[in-house]
Chain A
């Protein structure tokens, strides 16, 4: 089971209060996790990835296991700890501080 933590604005948009959990068919990757997330919450389509290119929106980052996965290929397998549900997959709004 995959655990996904969304930024506050997207939780509001999807009417959820905490992390999201769901199963992914096949190998969990950024692409399959986001496909499953958008299937369950269609209102999030376009808010994390561009509608056409399916690229990550530039002001968002993907973190897991204290690593920045943002620049990993979308079809690369996610870390085992994310696949097992031990660690969440975090979608984070980029913040420059100040």
Chain B
């Protein structure tokens, strides 16, 4: 019988929720890494018990944790205790928590600074890992999206990480600027039909695509319009909040931008707005139904200045037409006095026959629907503020 495992990253630790295919009763383990910020946890598609977690703190920096048993035990995959922390030539070894920007002579020169809030140039400074995306074919390979925005990759199960510097170095890097949450690379999508194709998104730079496994990149922001930047149609500078893809149609992308819900039918070459009848099109997460590529879910909030649901009513919006026509889903969700937010990485779907939708709130609830969004219930009520939600469907 199928099982579901929900990985929840919060401001004060990670939690793992498990249930059988009925999704009625949930066991909760955690907090894992208590007291630390867990921006993201995600499992490997080819080895579901291989989990990776991004653990960070303003005091102690970035830690990468790995589990090989579905979250029962965790370890840092770097240098074992007692082993030298330097190579024979005296250079520091690559510990698992070491994310160092590529400043090599060949690629480093154009990568030194990006745009700061006041328009001046500012040095790139590593803050944390926002998102971990395991390879679709290799449990030891993982991509990491970090703040300040860059893409790293490990091919040894998290022991060492190396920047894919072609992203920052392709030319527009000095024009990237931080959004209110920092300059973060928060979205990584791997094309299941094309091993070389990777999509990423940065707030506030926009969306980018590589067709050669991350060596070279191009901005894919044509059609985006952002009235809060000097040139609303600029090549980069757009605050993309999230992109989603259905694996059966990887050329179709859905985007929740700062304002506007967008759609691309040509792998990001151009975008069209599909906000349609939404009461507000500001929001963070966006997800696609596991079995219906034209069914899309978002959680609109009031505005960029007021990060909570319109009228205090928590409503998921569903489109069954790939955008433009949206319906409010409210059954089981609070419809008064609700002022939580749903962050960009805090929504996910399972792959059971009746697709489950999950999202976590800054109020510490994780809501789930086992019927495609028709009705909802909180499967946990009182966690710390939820940063991220990922779902594994297990045999």
Please give the residue numbers on chain A whose beta carbons come within 8 Å of chain B beta carbons, in ascending order.
Answer: 7-10, 12-13, 38-43, 45-48, 51-52, 57, 59-60, 93-94
B59 interface residue (CB < 8 Å to A): yes
Tell me whether A42 and B80 are in contact in the complex, defined as CB-CB below 8 angstroms, given that A47-B97, A51-B92, A51-B98 are known contacts.
yes
List chain B residues, Cβ under 8 A from A13. Answer: 60, 63, 76
B206 interface residue (CB < 8 Å to A): no
Tell me whether A47 and B61 are in contact in the complex, defined as CB-CB below 8 angstroms, given that A9-B35, A9-B36 are known contacts.
yes
Tell me whether A40 and B97 are in contact in the complex, defined as CB-CB below 8 angstroms, given that A57-B59, A57-B61 are known contacts.
no
* B82 nearest CB across to chain A (Å): 7
Contact yes or no, B98 A46, CB < 8 A? yes
In the bound assembly, the distance between CA atoms of A9 and B35 in angstroms comes to 8
Contact yes or no, A43 B100, CB < 8 A? no
List chain B residues, Cβ under 8 A from A48. Answer: 60
* A6 nearest CB across to chain B (Å): 10
Which of A12, A45, A47, A94 is the one whose CB lies under 8 Å from B85?
A45
Over the window 131-150 of chain B, the binary record of Cβ atoms lying under 8 Å from chain A Cβ atoms (1 yes, 0 no) is: 00000000000000000000
What are 28 of the A-B contact pairs (CB < 8 Å)?
A7-B59, A8-B35, A9-B57, A9-B60, A10-B60, A12-B34, A38-B85, A39-B85, A40-B81, A42-B79, A42-B95, A43-B95, A45-B78, A45-B95, A45-B97, A46-B61, A46-B62, A46-B95, A46-B97, A47-B60, A47-B61, A47-B97, A48-B60, A51-B98, A51-B100, A57-B60, A60-B60, A94-B59
* B281 nearest CB across to chain A (Å): 38
B87 interface residue (CB < 8 Å to A): no
Contact yes or no, B36 A52, CB < 8 A? no
Interface size range on B against A: 20 to 34
In the bound assembly, the distance between CA atoms of A9 and B63 in angstroms comes to 12
* B69 nearest CB across to chain A (Å): 17
Contact yes or no, A41 B81, CB < 8 A? yes
List chain A residues, Cβ under 8 A from B59. Answer: 7, 9, 57, 59-60, 93-94
B118 interface residue (CB < 8 Å to A): no
Contact yes or no, B60 A40, CB < 8 A? no
For window 51-84 of B, CB contacts with A under 8 Å fall at: 57-63, 76, 78-84
In the bound assembly, the distance between CA atoms of A12 and B59 in angstroms comes to 14
List chain B residues, Cβ under 8 A from A9. Answer: 35-36, 57, 59-60
In the bound assembly, the distance between CA atoms of A8 and B59 in angstroms comes to 12
For window 247-272 of B, CB contacts with A under 8 Å fall at: none
List chain B residues, Cβ under 8 A from A42. Answer: 78-81, 83, 85, 95
In the bound assembly, the distance between CA atoms of A30 and B364 in angstroms comes to 41
Quick one: which of B57, B59, B76, B95 has the most chain A CB within 10 A? B59
In the bound assembly, the distance between CA atoms of A82 and B70 in angstroms comes to 43
List chain B residues, Cβ under 8 A from A7. Answer: 59
Over the window 28-53 of chain B, the binary record of Cβ atoms lying under 8 Å from chain A Cβ atoms (1 yes, 0 no) is: 00000011100000000000000000
* A23 nearest CB across to chain B (Å): 15
Closest A residue, CB atoms, query B33:
A12
Tell me whether A43 and B98 are in contact in the complex, defined as CB-CB below 8 angstroms, given that A13-B63, A57-B60, A59-B58 are known contacts.
no
